[in-house]
Amino acid sequence: MWLLKAAIFFTLFAFALNNQQLVAVNFFFGTFWRANLVLVVLTAFSTGLLLGVLLMMPRWWKNRKNRTAETSPQTGTATEKTAPNAAELTADTLTMARDGL
């Protein structure tokens, strides 16, 4: 695993070293930003990643809310729990009772 991380690091490091040229990013009304190419690429990637996560958040929250609503017991039906007799108690049933299953 550390070999993969080292390979990714050295690949990104080589990318940064090979893209040190100054570039100008032109905005509206004649404004511009002059920076190294690697910083411009990193900024564009980070902005896209952040925007994608923020736009997906409402859908994630909605799916999470729907999932918890499906797994929660309904309030209208009451189930009666009875205690098992001593002959039915095994290590598995005790473990399940301890874990709340």
H/E stretch holding 29 reads none
Question: Is residue 57 exposed (0-12), middle (13-18) or buried (19+ Cβ within 10 Å)?
Answer: exposed
Closest by Cα among 1, 40, 7 to 21: 40
Rg (CA), the chain: 28
- Residue 32, strand partner residues: 26
The whole-number pLDDT of residue 74 equals 60
Maximum alpha-carbon separation in the chain? 85
What stretches in the chain show pLDDT beneath 50?
A: none
Token representation of residue 25: 């990013």
The whole-number pLDDT of residue 49 equals 92
pTM of the model: 0.49
pLDDT, tens only, 39-62: 888 888 899 999 999 999 888 888
